[in-house]
Structure 1
Amino acid sequence: MDEHWSVAAHRHLKAAGVRQIGYVPDGGLRLLIERCLGDNEIETVMCATEEEAVGLSAGAWLGGQKSAVFMQSSGVGNTINAIASLISSANFPFFAIVTMRGQWGEGNPWQVPMGQAVVPTLEAVGVKTFLAESPDAVDMMIESGLRMAYSTDTPVAVLVGQKVIGSKIWTAGKAVNQ
């Protein structure tokens, strides 16, 4: 695949009619966030917390728009109460793209615990998770995840694996891309 996975992700978001994005800045999502920020048809909102992005998503649905949430795996724990109480209880559709840390090649010991807890934590509150370990898999999973979320009112998270976004080496308290 010659293009960065973010090109296909943006194309699928547009095709699905997503009009709002709530995100917390993340290096693995940088190119996708930039594409959405440059798209006049998508309202892209930087949030202070991942939980705020979940609230934005629910509000978008109540206002008649589809949305998506972008976050790193370390922020998933911040969303659990909002997903369990707001999204699951109200039966709202929900779609998230989560870049993973704490997997293959991780060099930061602080990222490992939450990276390992993402799938069981999300599944415990009713979110279907799909782990994409290659750019082609990201493409297919985002397309089908959006369809599932918005056709069946199911919370879905596509997890973009560390093999796709790259691992980081942690030296002297500083992360360096490998």
Structure 2
Amino acid sequence: MISAQDFCALLADHGFSLASGVPCSHFGGPIAHLSTQPGRYVPAPNEGSALAVAAGAALGGRRAYVMLQNSGLGNLINPLTSLVMTYQLPILTFTSLRGWPDPATDEPQHAVMGPATPGLLDSIHTPHYTLYAKDGPDEFSLILEQAEKDLAEQRAPFVLVERGAIGKAAAANDPHREGLAAAEAIRVVVATTPQAAVIATTGYTGRDTFAVADSPRNFYMQGSMGHASSLGLGVALTHPERTVVILDGDGALLMHLGALSMIGHAAPANLIHVVLDNRIHESTGGQATTSATTSFPDMALAAGYASAVTCDSEDAVRSAMAQAQAVPGPHLINVKTLPRTGTIPPRATNALSTLDIRDRFQDSLRQ
């Protein structure tokens, strides 16, 4: 293992002065360390944006690197192949190896991408190296020396990072100091819409929903971060007779904000979009999102939502849910939530298979 501080220091020694990325627990240490130094790290909403930031830095003459989870590698392929590789911009990318080498040791959403990651990079002729958990600063230095040769040839090498290869550091963030527990917010939302179809985003939101309000009417997303709102829109358009509630997170919504405009344009009257905003990527280590400088209600209204409000108490959530069901939507309810404390509930797939979740949800829609 290499410490987060040594990881960042060695990259700085090679002239890398800027990083961007999307949080992954594998990179929680470096992100936390860099976030304490203004101007060193740009928290990106998605992996493609992170790579584009690094590409812009490269165009401007600055060395930048990217950190991401391999589950989001698909978001990065377009700018990698059509921007970075086409314009031969020398950028170094670090991606975690979730679901590798044995997919059974990780969460189910990593089962496909884990084993496929090296081959995917091979298929587009991208050089890559692996940093193992047993490796230390010396091994990492050798990898950087190899990567430097690729960069000198205006290529974009990847370093694949095994779980435990990089040490941790305390996250720098600014979560809400006032609000309510996410689990309580979920409990209120589901209780006020007992017949609704519920789409719960990946991460701790799905875990909390399964723990406090499990129902066959709930669809628990495993992975595909940022797509709960689009999935919910598809369900709402297919079943206009059924109220559809999306339980989203601030980090997830930021990842694909364009969905707000799509929902506003489609104008599903039966859709209620609930955003649990705690200002952090909690399931990957508490790294800050950019929601502190973003108004989701203002954005939703500008995108065409029928209404949008912010709540910070159970009574306010209960009232907002009642109002949302009284008039046609779509509606957005932004809930200020507090960082979780205590034991985190297990994910739904500890008790149900992904096909169980799919089948019972589909059965509920037929009733």
Q: TM-score range by the shorter chain?
A: 0.7 to 0.9
Residue 126 of structure 1: how far off its partner (Å): 3.0
- Are 1:173 and 2:348 counterparts? yes
Residue in structure 2 matched with residue 56 of structure 1 by the alignment: 53
Deviation at 1:86, TM superposition (A): 0.5
The aligned amino acid for 1:91 is Q
Q: What one-letter code is carried by the residue in structure 2 that aligns with 1:33?
A: I
Paired amino acid for 2:9 = R
Q: How many residues align?
A: 169
Instruction: Name the SS of the counterpart of 1:90 in structure 2.
Output: coil
Corresponding residue for residue 124 of structure 2: 125
Shift of 1:145: 4.7
Judged with a 3 Å threshold, the aligned counterparts in structure 2 of structure 1 residues 48 and 21 are, in CA distance, closer, same or farther, namely same
1:11-160 matches, cutoff 5 A: 11-40=9-38, 42-104=39-101, 106-133=105-132, 134-136=134-136, 139-160=140-161
* CA contact 1:72–1:98 (8 Å) conserved in 2: yes
> Where is the strand percentage greater, Structure 1 or Structure 2?
1
CA contact (8 A) 1:22 1:47 kept: yes
> After the TM superposition, which segments of 4 or more aligned residues of structure 1 sit over 4 Å from their partners?
none
Name the amino acid aligned to 2:123: A
Q: CA deviation at 1:161?
A: 1.3
Are the structure 2 counterparts of residues 32 and 8 from structure 1 closer, same or farther at C-alpha, using a change threshold of 3 Å? same
Contact 1:22 1:45 in 2 (8 A): yes
Report the 3-state secondary structure (helix = DSSP H, G, I; strand = E; otherwise coil) of the residue aligned with 1:39. coil
Q: Aligned partners of 1:158 and 1:82: how far apart in 2?
A: 18
C-alpha displacement of 1:146: 4.5
Give yes or no for contact 1:94–1:156 (8 Å, CA) kept in 2: yes
Structure 1 range deviating more: 146-155 or 14-23: 146-155
After alignment, is 138-147 or 156-165 more displaced?
A: 138-147
> Residues 100 and 155 of structure 1: is their aligned pair in 2 closer, same or farther, counting only changes over 3 Å?
same
Superposed CA deviations along residues 108-164 of structure 1, whole A, max 9, x for unmatched, are: 121121111111212222321111222327623542254234322121111111363
Q: Shift in Å at residue 172 of structure 1?
A: 3.6
Tell me the secondary structure at the aligned position of residue 37 of structure 2: coil
Task: After superposition, give the CA deviation of every residue in 1:64-93 in whole Å (9 maximum; x if it has no partner).
Answer: 101000001111111111111101110110
- Matched letter for residue 122 of structure 1: L
State the distance in 2 between where 1:12 and 1:174 align: 39
Q: 1-side partners of 2:348 and 2:166: how far apart? A: 20
Aligned to 1:164, what secondary structure does the other structure show?
coil
Q: SS state of the match for residue 131, structure 1? A: strand
When structure 1 is superposed on structure 2, of 73-82 and 118-127 the one drifting more is 118-127
Query: Which ranges in structure 2 are unaligned for 5 or more consecutive residues?
Result: 168-344, 351-367
Amino acid at match of 1:68: Y
SS at match of 1:155: coil
Between the aligned partners of 1:45 and 1:26, the Cα distance in structure 2 is 14
Relative contact order, CA 8 A, sep 6+: which one is greater? 1
Contact 1:148–1:156 (CA<8 Å) still a contact in 2? no
AA partner of residue 22 (structure 2) = V
User: What residue ranges of structure 1 are gaps of 5+ in the alignment?
Assistant: none
Pairwise CA distance, 1:11? 1.4
TM-score, normalised to structure 2's length? 0.42
Q: Is the 8 A contact 2:131 2:160 kept in 1?
A: yes
Shift of the 112–163 alpha-carbon distance from structure 1 to 2, 3 Å rule, reads farther
CA distance in 2, matches of 1:39, 1:147: 25
Query: Following TM superposition, by how much is the alpha carbon of 1:174 offset from its aligned partner in structure 2, in angstroms?
Result: 7.8
**Identical-residue share of aligned pairs (%):** 23
* Structure 1 stretch displaced more, 6-15 or 79-88: 6-15
